[in-house]
Amino acid sequence: PQNVGILAMEIYFPPTCIQQDTLEDFDGVSKGKYTIGLGQDCMAFCSEVEDVISMGLTAVTSLLEKYGVDPKQIGRLEVGSETVIDKSKSIKTFLMTIFEDCGNTDIEGVDSTNACYGGTAALLNCVNWVESNSWDGRYGLVVCTDSAVYAEGPARPTGGAAAIAMLIGPDAPIAFESKFRASHMSHVYDFYKPDLASEYPVVDGKLSQTCYLMALESCYKGYCQKYEKLQGKQFSIADADYFVFHSPYNKLVQKSFARLVFSDVARSASSVDESAKEKLGQFTSLTGDESYNNRDLEKASQQVAKPHYDVKVQPGTLICKQVGNMYTASIYAAFASLIHNKNSSLDGNRVMMFSYGSGLSATMFSLRLSEGKAPFSLSNIAKVMNVDEKLKRRTELSPEKFVEIMKVMEHRYGGKDFVTSKDTTLLAPDTYYLTEVDSKYRRYYAKK
Ligand code: ACO
C-alpha cells in the first residue's frame, strides 16, 4: 500500500467550558497569568454525564456516519488514553458495542497508555499494521480520548477534555513519511498517576517543561540525522511548512518552536540568516542543561522565531487554546486546527509533528498532505469537523459550578452504585452520555 496515513478525522469536546480570564479572577492569581502567561483562552471539561468512553463513542459513530464508512470495514481499532477507568478492561472493548451491532467482532488492537503519548502509539500501530504483511485490506481506526483534570493549584488551568477519531488506510490525503521518524524515551518522574484512587496526577510542573524541551531537541536531532542520511541534504525548519506540537498550554508551544529555531542556529543550518546568527550565536556555547534554564536565550529565541511562528505554528493552535490540554488528543487537536484553518491550501505541504507523553516517551514524525478525493479530502475533513460551530455552541459555566462539578467527579471516580442526572440539555443531538454505574461497577451509556 502507498501513502498510508489519515483518511478522515472527527473531533468531539464537551459543550461545557470555563473562560480562563474568569478563572484567573476566581483563583485570585495575577491578571493575565493563564491567558498570557500560559497562552490559554478557555478550558473544556466533562460534566457528570460525560467521560472518556462516552466521548469516544460519540467521535467514532460520528466519523463512521459522516464519512459513510461501514463498521464492517474496520479491521483494527486502537485507543490512546491516560484516563484509567478500569485497570484491566480496555476502553476499546466499550467501543466494540458499535461494531458488534453490525456483526463485526474481528477487530485487532487494544489500548495504549503512557501519559499524552498513548494516541501516537495507537496511531503508529495502525499505520504499521496497514504497511505490514498482516494487513487484511480493511481500515484502521485510532481513538484518542482523555479528560485532563488537575487538583486545585497552578496546574488546574491546564486541564481540558476531548476525543478524536482518525481513520487509517492507504492513499490518504494525510500520508506518513514513515522513514523519517525519531523518538526519545527515558525514565523520569515529571508527571505520573501513582494514586489509583485519584484521577489527578502527581506533577512536577517545572521538571515536565524541561523534560518536554529536552525530548523535543533530542527527537529533532534524530529526525534531522535520518533525513540527511536518506535524502543526502540538510534538514532545517525551512524544509517544513507547518509544525504541530503536543500542547499542554500554548506558551510551551511557543517555547518549543523557538527551541527548534535555536537548534538550527546551533547546528549551523544553511537556511539560518545572519540576523538569527547574530542574536542567538552567543548562546551556542551553553551546555544543554544551562540552555534549558537560560531566560535570555528563551527571550531571544522567541523573538527570532516570532515571524516564523506566526506562519508555521499559529494556524495549528486554535482548538488547544480554546479547549485546553486534551492529553492524548492534544497534538491531533492541534493538527485538526491546522486542517480547519488551511484545509485545501495544505496540498503538497509537509507538516512536522511532535508528540510528548510524560514519564517519558516522545516521537517526532512528518506528514505529507494532498487534497485527496471526497469523502477523504482535506476540505471534507474540515467540513465534517465543523470546528467553528462546535466552539460556538458551547456553554460557559461559572467557576463555582466548575468547582462543584470537579468535586462530584472526584467523589465518583472509581465509584459504583450511582445514577447520573441524565441531564443532557447542553449536549448536542447524537452525543453519548453516562447513565449509570451499577453495584458491580458496570457502566451504562445512552445516546441523545
Ligand atoms: N501576566 C502574564 N504572564 C504571567 C503572569 C501575568 N500576570 N503571571 C505569570 N505569568 C507567566 C510566567 O512568567 C510564566 O511564563 P514563562 O514560563 O514564560 O516565564 C507563565 O505565566 C506561567 O507562570 P508560572 O509561575 O511559571 O506558573 P506556575 O508554575 O504557577 O504553573 C505550570 C505553570 C508549571 C505549567 C503548571 O500549570 C503545571 O504544572 N501544569 C501541568 C504540567 C504540564 O502541563 N506540563 C507540560 C508538559 S507535561 C503534560 O503535557 C502534562
- pLDDT digit string (tens) for 243-282? 999 999 999 999 999 999 999 999 998 999 999 999 999 9
Are 276 and 305 in contact by the 8 Å Cβ rule? The answer is no
Cβ partners under 8 Å of residue 339, min gap 6: 9, 346, 378, 381, 382, 385
- pLDDT digit string (tens) for 422-435? 999 999 999 999 99
- pLDDT digit string (tens) for 176-189? 999 999 999 999 99
Query: What is the per-residue pLDDT for 429?
Result: 97
CA 63, chain centre distance (Å) = 17
Domain that holds residue 313: 5-447
Ligand 1: atom nearest CA of 37 is 21
Residue 122, CA distances (Å) to 108, 113, 145, 250, 328 in order? 12, 9, 11, 24, 10
* pLDDT tier, 394 (very low <50, low <70, confident <90, very high otherwise): very high
Quote the ligand 1 centre to 344 CA distance (angstroms). 35
* pLDDT tier, 320 (very low <50, low <70, confident <90, very high otherwise): very high
Quote the ligand 1 centre to 121 CA distance (angstroms). 27
User: What is the spatial distance between Cα 48 and Cα 405, in angstroms, rounded to a whole number?
Assistant: 7
Are 317 and 334 in contact by the 8 Å Cβ rule? The answer is yes
Number of structural domains found in the chain: 1
Quote the ligand 1 centre to 38 CA distance (angstroms). 5
Name the residue with cell 445516546. 447
Read off the CATH number of the domain in which 110 is found: 3.40.47.10
Indicate which residue's Cα is closest to atom 12 of ligand 1: 37
Query: What is the per-residue pLDDT for 84?
Result: 87
pLDDT exceeds cutoff 90 at 41 = yes
The residue ranges of DSSP E strands in 210-318, in sequence order, are 242-245
Query: What is the per-residue pLDDT for 49?
Result: 97
In the chain, what are the helix, strand and coil shares in percent, each to the nearest 5? 45, 25, 35
Query: What is the per-residue pLDDT for 300?
Result: 97
Catalytic residue list: 82, 116, 246
Altogether, the residues listed in the chain come to a count of 448
Mean pLDDT across the stretch 103-129? 98
Quote the ligand 1 centre to 185 CA distance (angstroms). 24
Who lines ligand 1 at CB under 6 A?
30-33, 36-38, 116, 154-155, 158, 191, 203, 205-206, 208-209, 212, 248, 251-252, 325, 358
Angle, alpha carbons 246-342-65 (nearest 5°): 80
To test ligand 1's pocket by mutation, which of 25, 116, 208 has the most ligand atoms within 8 angstroms of CB?
A: 208
Query: What is the per-residue pLDDT for 390?
Result: 98
Indicate which residue's Cα is closest to atom 49 of ligand 1: 248
Mean pLDDT across the stretch 323-352? 98
pLDDT exceeds cutoff 90 at 289 = no
Are 261 and 369 in contact by the 8 Å Cβ rule? The answer is no
pLDDT exceeds cutoff 90 at 232 = yes
